[in-house]
Structure 1
Amino acid sequence: MKTNTFITLSTATANVGVLVGLVFLIFEIKQNSAIALSQIRQERTLSIIDEYSAIAQDEIFSDLLARALNDGDFDSVTNKEWNQLVHYELARSVRLEDVFFQYKKGLLDESVYLFSISMAASRLPIWKWLNVSEPNPEFAAAIDAYMSTDDFTPSALAIQFAEWSANKDSPNKGLGTPKVF
């Protein structure tokens, strides 16, 4: 065998080896990506389960949420209870902003994102009234953009709250807006 033929065959074999290695690398990256997405979803699910389990065990707070945010009995909520709701809604806004962030990074499905952006848009009147947070500008723009689509319909709670709060002062009026995002 001539030297030139040997060099050509060894170069071709090396190139095939590199291509096979790249194919395996791509397969492994896709597999790792799927595993990472699964872990993110599992951690989010466990976090939500923990949150709702804690609320279910706190009879007084659970009653407050049912009265105020399910039944729309806003007049029954005391200033102390509104302060509790501020923290509850602050946690919710942070969770929804996190969904927006993870969606932008390609880590969450569009269905999760649309559900969350819809919830954020419906919570906006409550958040503004409670001075819950100033969302990051990109998240605020995404909420505004969603609200201007035909897909957005304000929730019954958002409509009822907007009507109720039109002539009411926020219990946090003048306290400033917590900077979270």
Structure 2
Amino acid sequence: MKTNTFITLSTATANVGVLVGLVFLIFELRQTSTIALSQMTQQRALSYIDQNVAYAPDQEFSELMARVYKQHDFDSVTKNEWFQIARHESIERTRARDIWFQYNKGLIDDGIYLLYINSAANRLPLWEWLEVFVPEDFKADAIVRSEEKDFQAGAIRTKFIEWSKDNKSPYEI
């Protein structure tokens, strides 16, 4: 066998080996990405479950949540209860911002993102009133979402905006 033929065959074999290695690497990266997404989704679900399990036995807090989020009876909420709601909303903001961040990195699908950005857009007036810190870039996207044609404002948003026109934040009282 000539030296050139040997070199050509060994180069071709090496190139085929590299291509096969790249195919396996791509397959493995996709599999790892799927596993990571699954783990993130599971962690998010578990944190949500943990939060609600912690609230469930607390009758007073459950009743407060019902008054604010279901009955929209904002007048019945005391200053200290507003502080509790502010802590709760800070957690919700953190969860929504995490989803927003992961979506912008391509790690969350559209359905989950839309659910959380809608929630953020609906809660933004409450967050501002309660002085819950909202990062500007996240806030801007929530505002954009609230101005889109297909956005449906929830009762918490519409009723709270109307109520808050005549009521000061608990931090101003």
TM-score by length of 1: 0.92
Tell me the CA shift for residue 127 of structure 1.
0.9
Tell me the CA shift for residue 103 of structure 1.
0.6
Distance in 2 separating the partners of 1:125 and 1:145? 14
Match of 1:141 in 2: 140
Distance in 2 separating the partners of 1:170 and 1:80? 12
1:91 aligns with 2:84: no
Q: CA RMSD in A?
A: 1.1
Tell me the CA shift for residue 107 of structure 1.
1.1
Match of 1:58 in 2: 58
Structure 2: which amino acid aligns with 1:125?
P
Match of 2:168 in 1: 169
Q: Identity percentage over the alignment?
A: 53
TM-score by length of 2: 0.96
User: What are the within-5 Å matches in structure 2 for residues 86-165 of structure 1?
Assistant: 86-133=86-133, 135-165=134-164
Give unmatched runs, 5+ long, in structure 2. Answer: none
Q: Deviations over 1:67-89 (max 9, x none)?
A: 11211111111111111111011
Tell me the CA shift for residue 173 of structure 1.
2.2
Distance in 1 separating the partners of 2:71 and 2:119? 17
Give unmatched runs, 5+ long, in structure 1. Answer: 175-181
Q: Deviations over 1:73-122 (max 9, x none)?
A: 11111111111111011111111111111111111111111110100010
Q: Which moved more, 1:111-120 or 1:149-158?
A: 149-158
User: What are the within-5 Å matches in structure 2 for residues 25-40 of structure 1?
Assistant: 25-40=25-40
Distance in 1 separating the partners of 2:4 and 2:156? 79
Match of 2:22 in 1: 22
Q: Secondary structure at the match of 1:57?
A: coil
Question: Number of aligned pairs?
Answer: 173
Distance in 2 separating the partners of 1:168 and 1:145? 26
Question: Following superposition, which runs of at least 4 residues in structure 1 exceed 3 angstroms of deviation?
Answer: none
Structure 2: which amino acid aligns with 1:156?
A
1:71 aligns with 2:90: no
